[in-house]
Amino acid sequence: MNPTPERIDQLFATQQPLISFEFFPPKDEAASAQLLQTIEELCPLQPDFVSITRTGGGTPQTLELTNRIQNEIGIRSMSHLTCAGATQEEIGGFLDRLWDDGIRNVLALRGDPQPGQATFTATQGGFSYANDLAAFMRARHDFCIGVAGYPEGHPQALNPTRDLENLKLKIDSGGQFIITQLFFDNADFYRWRDAAHAMKIDVPIIAGIMPIASVAQIKRFVMMCGAKIPQPLLLRLESVESDPLAVHAAGVEHAINQCEDLIANGVDGVHFYTLNRSKATALICQALDVSRDT
């Protein structure tokens, strides 16, 4: 697949909704083999782009994987960059490396607290907030910059209005589109999207979807990110918790229903948190039958 146009912001005018996948750098050879198999199995779906998180080993591994997927495999790729654990000078070096590798898309994130810390603490000489990182990215090179949004509110937000004010600041600082945190109730997304539009946040918003494969795993995720599992879905999952195949089927069915409704209601894109696995995401995309002309 020829990754043209290079920039994600240019895609919204030609292809909607966008379909994209998220991967993370593998920690060992077995995980690397699993990821390569996942990418091979998802390639026929012709995603508009993939994003590479910082989870799994740190920024150098993220940059390497982003480069490999775009320049060797041929899928338009976006690198996550965070404020965590790096000075402005080091982040500048990361951005220069991405630019030199032909990567034109980056996701600006504050990042999680460092290991052993309960709250986020800025690195001396680094950034404290994603809006400062976005502004730095914009000044460094002509990147297409994505930022994160939280339909159910950031876990550390004082209230929903302040959370949207922070999102608006990230957009005003250079963000050109938004990818949301995972959510399972589309009504939450629509309320949040309407509130964002009312606050003059007018960039494209891509909905983040995580197919459920494990009840215990998804409970951990929602507790960490501040999302919720709607009671009917939770009861259904818990009723089949001892049957992994039934949990997987329920998770896929819910995600298909979510995505069909989102597309019918004009979502700008759907971003799948794959957890480096392909089966659920492939089944969902095949059910949606979103044609690709890339």
Give the residue numbers marked as catalytic. 22
Q: Which DSSP letter does residue 179 get?
A: E
Residue in 273, 215, 287 with CA at minimum distance from that of residue 247: 215
Residue in 93, 127, 121 with CA at minimum distance from that of residue 108: 127
Buried b (16+ CB within 10 A) or exposed e, 11-23: bbeebbbbbbbbb
DSSP annotation string for 219-248: HHHHHHHT----HHHHHHHHHTTT-HHHHH
What is the number of helices (H) and of strands (E) in the chain? 10, 8
Using alpha carbons only, how large is the chain's radius of gyration in Å? 18
Number of other CB atoms surrounding residue 143 within 10 Å: 24
Q: Which DSSP letter does residue 44 get?
A: G
Residue 242 has φ and ψ, to the nearest 5°, of -80, -5
